[in-house]
Amino acid sequence: MAAEKRSQRAHMAIFPSEGMGHLIPFLEFSKRLALFHNFSITFITTATESHVSPAQAAYVQLLTSSSSHHIRFIQLPKAEEEEEQGISHIERVLKMMDRTKSLMEDVLKSLLGSSPPISAFITDMFRTHLLHISAKLHIPSYILFASNAALVSLMLHLPKLVSEIQVPFKELEFPVKVPGFPPIPPTDLPTPLQDRLDPHFDWFLSHSAGLREANGILINTFEELESQSIKALVEGKVLTATHMPSIYPIGPLISSPMLESDRVRFVEDDRAECLKWMDEQSVCSVVFVAFGSRARLSAAQIMELALGLEASGQRFLWALCGPLTPSSGSIPISQLLPEGFESRTKDRGLVVTSWAPQIPILAHPSTGGFLSHCGWNSTLESISHGIPMIAWPIAAEQRMNSFILVNDIKVAIEAKRGSEGIVRREEVERVVKSLMDGHEGVKKKTRIRELKDSAEKALAEGGSSYKAMANVAAVWKESATATV
């Protein structure tokens, strides 16, 4: 019987938030936990969101359609939506969260009765409302934090900040101090924090407080990238309360060649347009322009970006998603680009209108720079492939990421907005030339290649992230042994 207990895989339940920025790191984490640490995973998903592109929806379906690496996928039953007129998006989100609670409690109860029973529950930074359910069922709960250690520091420190600062953050005339990273301009704090009257403010604050209820927080970062933020968290400089969750920096959680087969098959159809075009370009000559799976630029901003890319004289690959109109949906790309733009730049630029295979593009020898919205997944993918960045944040915590990448980590050049919130064509030309041909770009390339090496060492046996993953895996295996 003792031998049987030792040979049986520990069983984990994992439930991410919706969105590619959350789903991808959770999948990579699950694969590594199952493949390298001998765990069995039940990966819980929700119905695919209606606003994702067909390419993204197909990708999600591919990744979650069959079990592999001892990972079993189950879909949470769809919560019944009531037809309610005149309620805001955040009110609708909060109502859906309430409905999810009872559904998740039923799933966790079922998994407790499985063989073997789950030994821990891992969920997302924006699902902290579920932690009391796992506590009620006596299941240890952990947060897999898809963003960086700096944001963990901010969220854990936020209740104290809110009690000390009575005015809206956007009205402050001085930088905000958070342990672990440089004082940050208040306008670079996450979007939900700018206005206290915004319903998202209370939503963000509630999840910030909820993080404290977890047994531990696994962060998609590595010590060599965010040493000061991680040190501040571990040494109790961020949160002095009696219950500080254990901190495990286990990143970067991006695809590795050993776990890449599904994604490679998925991008084969794109190779003719994107990657074959890249094959024809010289080494480090192309700037890749992409703003993630959700962000959409205004028509005016697309025009300025196009004219700036053209004026820069640099080669570019642009994954372009146009703005949406309430009545007719997407605006045709031909109506958004300057007249004659594609014909004038056809020898050095390519515009694609589908979801581009980002990792293969960043890994391509021709890629020399990345104009990015500074989403954390994209940031880690860029660092892991040694590609310096132009920081062009759009929303959420991206301005904060941009601030850290430019001022602390020093791997990006900031694209500065004008008085109307638009990055003008002259600024686009400046930052593209600076990154691809200028002295500043040389410094960013040197720095990010150092971090690329550090990321590889962190994940290798004996590295900082490898050790952190092994440590938390040992905790879960001990818990599994106790429950058998």
* Residue 326 clears pLDDT 60, i.e. is over it: no
CA quadruple 391, 397, 401, 404: dihedral positive or negative? positive
Q: What is the mean pLDDT of residues 460-483?
A: 90
Closest CA to 108 of 129, 135, 142, 81: 135
Token digits of residue 324: 């949406």
CATH fold of 270-457 reads: Rossmann fold (3.40.50)
pLDDT tens digits, one per residue of 92-112: 666 676 678 888 999 999 999
Token digits of residue 166: 């009575």
Query: Which of the two residues, 17 and 142, has the higher pLDDT score?
Result: 142
pLDDT classification of 460: cutoffs 50, 70, 90:
very high
* Residue 67 clears pLDDT 90, i.e. is over it: no
- Answer yes or no: same fold for 2-256+461-483 and 270-457: yes
Contact residues for 206 (Cβ-Cβ < 8 A; gap 6+): 128, 129
* Residue 483 clears pLDDT 90, i.e. is over it: no
| CA 47 from centroid of its chain's CA atoms | 20
Domain ranges of the chain: 2-256+461-483, 270-457
pLDDT of residue 329: 53
Q: What is the mean pLDDT of residues 363-388?
A: 98
Cβ 213 vs Cβ 131: under 8 Å? yes
- Any idea what the Cα angle at residue 78 is, between residues 77 and 84, rounded to 5°? 150
Query: Which of the two residues, 126 and 81, has the higher pLDDT score?
Result: 126
pLDDT of residue 270: 46
Q: What is the mean pLDDT of residues 16-36?
A: 90
* Residue 371 clears pLDDT 70, i.e. is over it: yes
pLDDT of residue 241: 59
**CA 65 to each of CA 14, 56, 62: distance values in angstroms, whole numbers, following the listed order:** 16, 14, 5
Helices of type H across 65-148: 89-112, 131-136
Strands 324-325, 329-330: pairing kind: antiparallel
pLDDT of residue 6: 47
pLDDT tens digits, one per residue of 126-167: 999 999 999 999 999 999 999 999 999 999 999 999 999 988
pLDDT classification of 45: cutoffs 50, 70, 90:
confident
Please state, rounded to an integer, the average pLDDT across all residues of the chain. Answer: 87
Q: What is the mean pLDDT of residues 114-130?
A: 93
pLDDT of residue 334: 75
**CA 192 to each of CA 22, 152, 239, 399: distance values in angstroms, whole numbers, following the listed order:** 18, 15, 21, 12
**CA 319 to each of CA 92, 186, 297, 343, 413: distance values in angstroms, whole numbers, following the listed order:** 31, 31, 12, 17, 20
Token digits of residue 162: 């809110």
* Residue 5 clears pLDDT 50, i.e. is over it: no
Whether residue 129 lies in the annotated active site? no
* Residue 442 clears pLDDT 70, i.e. is over it: yes
| CA 139 from centroid of its chain's CA atoms | 26
Cβ 132 vs Cβ 17: under 8 Å? no
- Any idea what the Cα angle at residue 251 is, between residues 183 and 236, rounded to 5°? 45
pLDDT of residue 85: 57
Whether residue 124 lies in the annotated active site? yes
pTM comes to 0.91
- Choose the catalytic residue: 69, 70, 98, 124: 124
* Residue 263 clears pLDDT 50, i.e. is over it: no
Domain 2-256+461-483 superfamily per CATH:
Glycogen Phosphorylase B; (3.40.50.2000)
* Residue 192 clears pLDDT 50, i.e. is over it: yes
Whole-number Å distance between alpha carbons of 299 and 432: 20
Percentage of the chain beyond pLDDT 70 is 82
Phi and psi angles of residue 413, each rounded to the nearest 5 degrees, phi first: -110, 135
Cβ 401 vs Cβ 409: under 8 Å? no
pLDDT tens digits, one per residue of 193-222: 998 988 889 999 999 999 999 999 999 999
Q: Is 81 helix (H, G, I), strand (E, B) or coil?
A: coil
- Choose the catalytic residue: 11, 22, 200, 364: 22
pLDDT tens digits, one per residue of 222-238: 999 999 999 999 999 99
* Residue 53 clears pLDDT 60, i.e. is over it: no
Q: Where are the beta strands (DSSP E) in 175-270?
A: 216-219, 246-249
Residue the block writes with tokens 């694209």: 415
